């Protein structure tokens, strides 16, 4: 059985008050997925190689347009991705073996009345996200969309389509 307390340590850059902790309703949904998909774990901030300076810059902010996001983590994002008025969340998981392009993005649509039965609305193909992250919200223009990409790049949007999502590769 997946232990919920692991979520706090998995998403934290280091222990402390600014560590981003996955919400309990999200823990249940991800825990169910992990239990039915052995060989995966939640991607750690340390899996984002050479990202430390970029992560710190986002946490501190970059002038007037880029406000600080003190609890930013590259592999977990929460927001209304599909513009339905409910918070959704995305989390990155990583296959424990073999190494390489072993990351997957899971997107879960809210609400989460019974998260034990929640299934992801989107599961990406295997990708190499070892130098990339998830981004959502200001200062990007509305409607906000979940963006996946390298730091300081345009990245690729995940656009809602029906009950799921598709890559906007244009």
Residue-number span of the structural domain to which 92 is assigned: 6-168
The pTM assigned to this predicted structure is 0.85
Percent of the chain as helix, strand, coil, to the nearest 5: 20, 25, 55
pLDDT at residue number 143: 86
Using an 8 Å Cβ cutoff, are 126 and 103 in contact?
yes
Torsion region of 79: left, alpha or beta (phi above 0 gives left; psi -120 to 50 gives alpha): left
Distance CA 22, CA 87 (A): 13
Query: Has residue 13 been placed in a domain?
Result: yes
Total of domains in the chain: 1
pLDDT at residue number 6: 42
List, for residues 121-154, the tens digit of each pLDDT value.
999 999 999 999 999 987 777 888 999 999 888 8
pLDDT at residue number 170: 63
Query: Has residue 128 been placed in a domain?
Result: yes
**Distances in whole angstroms, Cα of residue 111 to Cα of each of 8, 53, 98:** 22, 34, 34
pLDDT at residue number 33: 92
55-59: long-range contacts, CB 8 A cutoff, minimum separation 24: 55/13, 55/133, 58/151, 59/18
Query: Has residue 99 been placed in a domain?
Result: yes
Query: Has residue 1 been placed in a domain?
Result: no
Distance CA 148, CA 93 (A): 14
Query: Has residue 66 been placed in a domain?
Result: yes
List, for residues 50-108, the tens digit of each pLDDT value.
899 999 998 998 777 778 888 899 999 999 999 999 999 999 999 987 766 699 999 99
pLDDT at residue number 17: 39
pLDDT higher than threshold 70 for residue 8: no
At 16, is the pLDDT very low, low, confident or very high (cuts 50, 70, 90)? very low
pLDDT higher than threshold 50 for residue 9: no
């Amino acid at each position: 059985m997946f232990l919920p307390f692991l979520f706090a340590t998995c998403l934290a850059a280091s222990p402390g008050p600014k560590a981003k902790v996955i919400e309990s309703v999200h823990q249940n949904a991800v825990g169910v997925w992990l239990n039915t998909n052995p060989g995966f774990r939640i991607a750690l901030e340390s899996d984002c190689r050479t990202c430390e300076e970029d992560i710190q810059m986002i946490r501190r902010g970059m002038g007037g347009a880029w406000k600080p996001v003190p609890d930013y983590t590259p592999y977990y994002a929460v927001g209304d991705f599909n513009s339905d008025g409910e918070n959704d969340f995305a989390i990155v998981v990583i296959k424990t073996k073999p190494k390489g392009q072993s990351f997957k993005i899971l997107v879960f649509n809210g609400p989460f009345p019974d998260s034990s039965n929640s299934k992801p609305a989107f599961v990406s193909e295997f990708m190499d996200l070892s130098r990339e992250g998830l981004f959502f919200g200001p200062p990007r223009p509305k409607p906000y969309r979940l963006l996946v990409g390298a730091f300081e790049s345009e990245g690729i949007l995940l656009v809602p389509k029906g009950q799921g999502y598709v890559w906007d590769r244009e």
